[in-house]
Structure formats: C-alpha cells, structure tokens
Amino acid sequence: MSFRAVLFDLDGTLLDTLEDIGRSANQALQEGGFPLHPIDSYRRFIGDGVAMLFQRALPPDAALDQVAVSTCVAAFGRFYGDGWNVATRLYPGIAGLLDALAARSIPTAVLSNKPDHFTRRCVSHHLADWPFAVVLGQREGTPRKPDPAGAHEIAEALGLDPAEILYLGDSSVDMTTANRAGMFAVGACWGFRGVEELRVHGAVATIAAPGELLRLLG
C-alpha cells in the first residue's frame, strides 16, 4: 500500500506522558478526598478525555456525580498545568521515525483527546523539530475520538482522502477512530494498552517499534 500522510495519536504513541498525567490526577483526587491509584493504573484510564479519566478513577458513587467529576477535572487542569513536563518524554525510536518521514516529505498530524491547549503545548515543546501540518486536541464543539470528526477535519486540511492516511495509535479509541474515519489503522504496541486490545478493535497492523512503520508506507 502507499500512504500520503501519517496521523498520530499523542499520549502513549508519540509521548510517554503516563507519570505526569497520573501524578496530576492523583493530586486532584487527593484534593477532593478520594482514594489514589498507582501510576500504572492510569494506563487503563487515559484515552477518552479528562472527564472520562475521572469517571474511571473515582469511586463508583462519585463517578456518577457530575459535580465531583467536574471538580476533579478542574483540579487536574491546575495540577497538570504546573507539572505537565516533569517526566514526559518521546518514546525511543520516535525521533528517528519523524526524521525519516520528514526526509520523505510525508505530511504528519496529531489528533488527541487531551485538551487542545495541553496537546499544543506538548507538541510545541517536545516535537518542535518536526513539521506537523495539523495539531488538534479536544475542543469545545468538536466530538472527541472515537468520533471521526477530528480525523476527517485533518484529512480535509491536508487535502487528502482519508484512505490515503495511515493512523498510528495505542488504544481501542484510536483503532475505532481510524476505522470510522476510513483510515488505515496501525496499533503502537509500546503504548498504554496491549496488542490484544488493538487487534480486537480493528488494528489492520500492529508494530512493536516506531521504525517498523516505514515498511507499511509503501
């Protein structure tokens, strides 16, 4: 196959943000008097936006309380705003992959369920060496993934048919988004979820290391 662009998820795909997100979420839970979680538990909570993160992290009764969820979301915004870049880093091999894509003049884009301002901050800080054509996070008025609206917006901005775009992500949300958008779904096995989840939710291919993406580009 031959693809004309690559669309990336952010957290768990390009950047390992687990520690900073988990620590900030625990600080928000602690401020609200709720139980905390081991950082590794946040692998299962991340991916569907901040509100859903807290619906998963809060005790069952509090998770149904919209006030409790909204309070935690607001607190998370404060704590993550202060600590978004304490431990966050590129995954090994990502820099080499992005160098190779840039050398081939293959356009790249980012679509995340992280709030848009945090998405742009992470990309501008950690990924400034590479020319991403479009960067979109979760925004008011645009449904979050797995709704394909954001992916279609990116395809339109790139002037491409969705079928010409390879979508790389690390979760069921990403695989579902890619398939609903009509893109080629590739699962990143180094991210927050496992290969089985990726395959069950529609990964056409899975890769164990970023450089393996190049053989799929044609």
The per-residue pLDDT for range 168-204, each reduced to its tens digit, is 999 999 999 999 999 999 999 999 999 999 999 999 9
CATH T-level topology, domain 18-83 = DNA polymerase; domain 1 (1.10.150)
For residue 1, what pLDDT band results from cuts at 50, 70 and 90? low
Catalytic status, residue 82: no
Report the phi/psi class of residue 186: left, alpha or beta, with left for phi > 0 and alpha for psi in -120 to 50.
Answer: beta
pTM for this structure? Answer: 0.96
Q: Which CATH number fits domain 5-16+88-216: 3.40.50.2300, 3.40.50.1000, 3.90.1150.10, 3.40.50.11740?
A: 3.40.50.1000
Q: How far is CA 178 from CA 12, 90, 198, 206, in A?
A: 16, 23, 12, 13
Q: Which of the following is catalytic: 9, 16, 20, 48?
A: 9
Domain with CATH 1.10.150 in the chain: 18-83
| DSSP code of residue 34 | P
Q: How does the average pLDDT of the chain come out, rounded?
A: 97
CB 72 within 8 A of CB 35: no
Give the tokens for residue 25. 């979420």
Mapped onto helix, strand or coil, the DSSP state of residue 185 is strand
For the chain, the residue count is 218
